[in-house]
A and B are shown apart, each in its own frame.
Chain A
């Protein structure tokens, strides 16, 4: 399946290397978050999947971006101790009273 190569009026000649030229890879890179977040139309998803199937570097790059997002999503965050929670409340009320 051939990838559709985007052309911009007056900016480039048709390239014979339509599969995964660097310019095409950059176009894919621009959309990978939207791809991961399932925000793209079916046509564009198919275009990206076709490119990924043919371009191991972009496939690896997508995996690394997916892992990055998953790590961010699952990074636990420390919680406030009961003592700090009570101390903060006192400070806030004190600040509110003195405003």
Chain B
């Protein structure tokens, strides 16, 4: 099924092309835009860059829809388009390659590095994440990850895809995905272990419950 492609319009300032709400593009967009925005936001860490990535993703999907053979889930296909668009957008902006993470850099060298400085005992992850400062520390740690590691962490641990699915999306074998995921987790763990919170983590929960 091909998407209805509109003819070229001369005036870009005019009203947006109208496609009936039942068109294949609208179906694709309606069903997946929220998932793709969530994914893009997690990769980019801020709203405007995430919107640019979503736009690029659906534009590329629109153009490539004729070649989509349906042997993967539509969402997996869109994740792949978004991942490649993200890498391309990054290359346009900056030229530096991703840093490689080695396991050695994550081996604790002093007693204080084994534990997180954030006491989470007795709290669910959801309760702990009600703390804004913790969310910011976590977001900064993920944002500091080199891109190729961040993609794997986001797809596996945040989007909840399997290693096999992530391998298909990024064109890597499962072993490589698991290796990158482990290094990415160790990187975030190390960042979290180096940070303490200014306030008590559970204070917000008590406040909320009272």
Contact = CB atoms under 8 A, between A and B. Distances in A.
A73 B18 CA distance: 38
A26 B106 CA distance: 10
A97 B18 CA distance: 10
Nearest to B182: A33
A67 B8 contact: no
A39 to B, nearest CB: 7
Interface string A41-64: 000000000000000010011011
A78 interface: yes
A98 B185 contact: no
A75 B135 contact: yes
Interface stretch (B34-42, B69-77, B80-88): B34-42
Contacts of A79: 34, 37-38
Contacts, number: 140
Interface in B105-162: 106-108, 111, 114-116, 118, 120, 125-126, 128-129, 134-135, 138-139, 142, 153, 157-158, 160
Contacts of A65: 185-186, 189
Interface residues of A, number: 43
Given A39-B178, A76-B129, A97 B9 contact: yes
B51 A26 contact: no
Nearest to A61: B114
A30 B47 CA distance: 35
Interface secondary structure of B, over-half rule: helix
Interface residues of B, number: 58
Contacts of B29: 89, 92
11 contacts: A33-B181, A34-B178, A60-B115, A64-B193, A68-B185, A72-B138, A72-B158, A88-B54, A93-B6, A93-B25, A94-B16
Interface of B: 5-9, 12, 16-17, 19, 25-26, 29, 33-34, 37-38, 41-42, 47, 51, 54-55, 58-59, 62-63, 103, 106-108, 111, 114-116, 118, 120, 125-126, 128-129, 134-135, 138-139, 142, 153, 157-158, 160, 178, 181-182, 185-186, 188-189, 192-193
